[in-house]
Structure 1
Amino acid sequence: MTAQPSFDAALHPPRVGLFCTCLVDTIRPSVGFAAAKLLEEAGCEVDVPAQTCCGQPAFNSGDRATSRALAEQVIAAFENFDYVVAPSGSCAGMIKTHYPELFTGEPDWSARVDRFCAKVFELVSFLVDVRGVTHVDAAYAGTVTYHDSCSGLRELGVKGQPRRLLASVAGLSVAEMNDADTCCGFGGTFCVKYPDVSNAIVEKKAANIAATGADTLLAGDLGCLMNMAGKLQREGHAIKVRHVAEVLAGMGEDPALGMPAAAEAKR
């Protein structure tokens, strides 16, 4: 894979294409706004081009033709940016790790795809590892516990970065859960294909979350958060669920995931 893009930061700020993801666009737009805020505060020029799915659901279902077509659309939409950043380890992992597989043995595409994938990052990893952010100007009153989503952790090495930034949030403390790096049972299409197995996995995860005594659960992937929030709420746990970007951007006062404003006020 080629090296990261090079440019003179003194002449212009890095141009970042924000890949919002399907779930953020349709379920939790506030995560996209939080991501844009964090990137701008890190000195980036942010744009959100017209975009579609990264192709992961099709890829995981064995539909390589559809996944390949979507990958071509994503590359065309984002390849002129200095960086491509997604508030999702799952989508960023799909692009960075699996796009090259879709173009194997095609010389006309391979170099282009490698150049593109080299500048794709998960949001918090980009802030810490590329932009060198060590502190955020945000506050959150409460104790949080953090779930390490599978793709971000195993494909992109995202683990210490969110915890490093959370340590700078005023009023916030972190209570680590047991098996924080164990799957929550979502797995995209996995939870649809194997609901009984998925439920057994998230049941254990919910128990570990509740055992921390934390009032808030954070993670970097909305799919995982939706899965865990649903289980926690069905079991009657009064635990708020948020994307880590929302807290880091100082947007932790908005209603938590799956919770109307009136219900949030009571907790």
Structure 2
Amino acid sequence: MSGLAGSSVIVTGGGSGIGRAAALRFAEQGANVVVADINTDAANAVVAEIEASGGTAKAATGDLSDQAVADEVVATAVNTFGGLDVLVNNAGIMDTMTAAADVSDAEWERVIRVNLTAPFLLTRAALPHMLAKGKGAIVNTASEAGLRGSAAGAAYTASKHGLVGLTRSVAVMYRDSGIRANAIAPGGTRTGIAVTADPAGHGPRVLSGYMQNVGRISEADEQAAAIVFLASDAAANINGVVLPVDNGWSAV
């Protein structure tokens, strides 16, 4: 992919799943990668993988929904690699497929905080550095649940719809400053994230009738390929797009 060699890239949730696959792909393209994750051991393991293949990476760990941590992740990229070219807001958590009437305050607040507030905090911290360079690419990992109401519970669905809105707002506000913001909307993907749901609950019972349309479960690297494309110069005129990577689920 053009334009990525020597670039400075942050990938959140980079210690596993789609984030790990994206971090490895960026490194293969010659990018310098900050692997950000709440799990220190996982982040360090991915950094070691990249370095063993001749790439350059650095770990940054902590809870990204904390403004101080978000600021530190961005500072790590800027101070270590001389700036920031690409931000991938990929870290996220699932809900328990709970319908709105049954969602606890704790579940709602945690899912929104991780899936929506953290990407906002990182984006806000990253933008001044991208604006100073006059260019930048932000890629968010949304979800099929950001396109429809039948792919997850109330908290997760709201968080991913919100992330789609954030993506489009940033695209509009900063397109004349050389900054692009896009998102992928993964369908079912093989990662380490487990969904804990009570099959007898109202939400899971309703949603089970729609999950037959999921189709083939994708591999994390298929999602990562779309992320790297959207961050690259090959997508230079793509801005404000939410790209389903779902084997056609969104077309059903």
TM tier, shorter chain? 0.3 to 0.5
Between 1 and 2, higher relative CO (CA 8 Å, sep ≥ 6) is seen in 2
Give the structure with higher Rg (CA). 1
TM-score w.r.t. the length of structure 1 is 0.31
TM-score w.r.t. the length of structure 2 is 0.32
